[in-house]
Structure 1
């Protein structure tokens, strides 16, 4: 073929390609809206995802029995949902070389209507890298501030303005950890002495007052689970040996209820006690306390549940006892949570990452979905 013929052939191919391209409609990328929020939507915190530096938050519809989407969460994330359900935040760590290199800690905002990234705030590079807790990253009750627990091992809390999405400041916590919201301008941390430290903030998010409570947890003889359950504006604390005590930190001085037992003397003698990573959940209006229970001994407080016990928080009486084996549910439940509607569901995560859904009034099994998460730790139901 001569040079002239080769040039003509190339021109013909080019003209054909251009015509084909012009005829094709350009692809348009859109962001699909999430279904309207409903009380049976659950967020599952999986700190490892496919790798230790690649945590995930899975959004799951318990009625439709399907995953709706996921939120990237980095390394050992803290996670919280705003009181109006519109926004999620992840407090996490990234390294410039994946698992090492320059460290950057960041709070990432997610629009819950699309699960799209909605902004971020750089925070001090001391975010507590631990198994996620319900209280290591939290919103204030009015949604204006977000609290992030830090540990270096010195304990502090970073305060982020949720509106401007900027760091408002950092508060020294005097070796007390976590941040349990105690009202629109307060949060409370738990101390190694068994006391509670309550911090009051001014409008700018700066500390204006601090009050230390009397000891309410016997940390030497019967420690309490850090994942307390909110109830009636306060919290329900459960101990390793099966004692319950309420706490209210909203006033000038903390108010504690009298301790009461989950187990009888005979049940305690046979080893019944709470266990797991998130062993309790409370339905606020029904005054129901759900506890993941197992038979064990001292040191078994992380063991999974073989039964779920249900208590009336007003009378302190057990009103139900559900054996997982009776419904062929693996006795491996490590985290529980309950929806807050009039037809509540009780959720359980197993060691193998399965999501178990029960009717929270009858204990009847609704569904088991296998392998929803790789490293199950925390259930959040806004």
Structure 2
């Protein structure tokens, strides 16, 4: 008797266990589960989950900017650590927003049409990146779409550290001037409407471009004089020279001296801090200089004949800007010896140009090598620092408005409407 019967329990006899026949349902189920495991398929209960949504194809589009006001500015970032990635930013100073950017490859320059119809970038590339055929180009951009409206091959251009006076536009926007040093000092003249390079003007011993009127520009010469070029209706140049007004090896003037292009007015600033008021034209006139330090009630700084004297001196890259509506000069100043002309400013001095008087001195939170100013009644002052921030001040009282953090790598100059 079985143990179960001995305990008085009743059990239903188990059904006999038999092996499934080849090809039977058990084998089919086992095979399906094995394949599912090998393929990483979901377990049967996952089949009840909702199906993943079908992703739609992404469609690209182009955003068109609204017309800008006086506080929409262009800012060049030379990106010195990898110059081939240079760019020009379109920035709204009121919101602190970066609205867009365009390529500005390898020591490029940027200038704007006075009427705001275009802005121009002169740049250089090579077909194979760092070698191959060289291409020097002048590109015009639509300021609202940032799309090229002209892509012109130039005969050459000056491949040097970007300087604001290397590229300029005539007062009526008719001509674009591109400075070159290949093989000699010259200026290429481009007709903006025809999109054609119409003339190359040799300016031996002279450099840079300070435009005046509808068809003229001035260059600074190595002997301390100015070369004035006037173009006739056919684009043929006539060249005149001024007398020397500064001694280059004693107290040279800054290449980034500020100007008001519409009136052909430049204030050439010397390394020691002298200001030469120049009215440009076929017969340019240069007034006697006055001292920035004297305007602030200080002793004028020495020139190269006393190079170790410490004084307040101008310095930086785009070291000065002029607000035309009230003729105020904004200039970066630092304490140093004579050959510290590239040192950043620790203070920003605002001076009244007609009276040669100091308006205010603004101590900067961080040293800056660049200052720009907008031209409207509610103007803004733009500064930068080593971190690549753009620091915006109120033009009326010099108080901080906002900081645009980490805008660029090597911010070097600005282009504001109406300059």
TM-score by length of 1: 0.88
1:310 maps to which residue? 350
3-state SS of paired residue (1:75): coil
Would the aligned equivalents of 2:291 and 2:300 in 1 still touch at CA under 8 Å? no
TM-score by length of 2: 0.81
Would the aligned equivalents of 1:356 and 1:367 in 2 still touch at CA under 8 Å? yes
1:167 maps to which residue? 197
Asked whether 1:133 is paired with 2:168, we answer: no
Would the aligned equivalents of 2:71 and 2:93 in 1 still touch at CA under 8 Å? yes
CA distance in 1 between counterparts of 2:198 and 2:55 reads 51
CA distance in 1 between counterparts of 2:152 and 2:379 reads 35
2:112 maps to which residue? 81
Residues 319 and 121 of structure 1, relative CA distance in 2, 3 Å threshold: same
**CA RMSD in angstroms, aligned pairs only:** 1.7
CA distance in 2 between counterparts of 1:24 and 1:347 reads 45
1:279 maps to which residue? 319
CA distance in 1 between counterparts of 2:201 and 2:155 reads 12
Shift of 1:29: 3.5
Q: Deviations over 1:276-332 (max 9, x none)?
A: 0011111101111001000011211000010000100110000101111xxxx212x
CA distance in 2 between counterparts of 1:90 and 1:39 reads 20
Higher-strand-fraction structure? 1
Asked whether 1:354 is paired with 2:389, we answer: yes
1:14 maps to which residue? none
CA distance in 2 between counterparts of 1:266 and 1:213 reads 30
For residues 326-337 of structure 1, what are the structure 2 equivalents within 5 Å?
Answer: 329-331=365-367, 333-337=368-372
Residues 321 and 153 of structure 1, relative CA distance in 2, 3 Å threshold: farther
Would the aligned equivalents of 1:161 and 1:205 in 2 still touch at CA under 8 Å? no
Runs of 4+ in structure 1 displaced over 3 angstroms? Answer: 23-29, 264-270
Q: Deviations over 1:10-44 (max 9, x none)?
A: xxxxxxxxxxxxx9987554321113211111211
Would the aligned equivalents of 1:48 and 1:76 in 2 still touch at CA under 8 Å? no
Shift of 1:220: 1.8
2:375 maps to which residue? 340
CA distance in 1 between counterparts of 2:241 and 2:98 reads 43
Q: For the pair shown, which has the larger CA radius of gyration, 1 or 2?
A: 2
CA distance in 1 between counterparts of 2:98 and 2:69 reads 14
CA distance in 2 between counterparts of 1:151 and 1:71 reads 25
Would the aligned equivalents of 1:235 and 1:248 in 2 still touch at CA under 8 Å? yes
Would the aligned equivalents of 2:108 and 2:162 in 1 still touch at CA under 8 Å? yes
3-state SS of paired residue (2:272): coil
1:42 maps to which residue? 73
What stretches of structure 2 of length at least 5 have no aligned partner?
1-53, 302-308
- Which one is further off, 223-232 or 48-57? 48-57
What stretches of structure 1 of length at least 5 have no aligned partner?
1-22
CA distance in 1 between counterparts of 2:210 and 2:355 reads 25
CA distance in 2 between counterparts of 1:56 and 1:164 reads 26
1:9 maps to which residue? none
Would the aligned equivalents of 1:277 and 1:377 in 2 still touch at CA under 8 Å? yes
Residues 213 and 115 of structure 1, relative CA distance in 2, 3 Å threshold: same
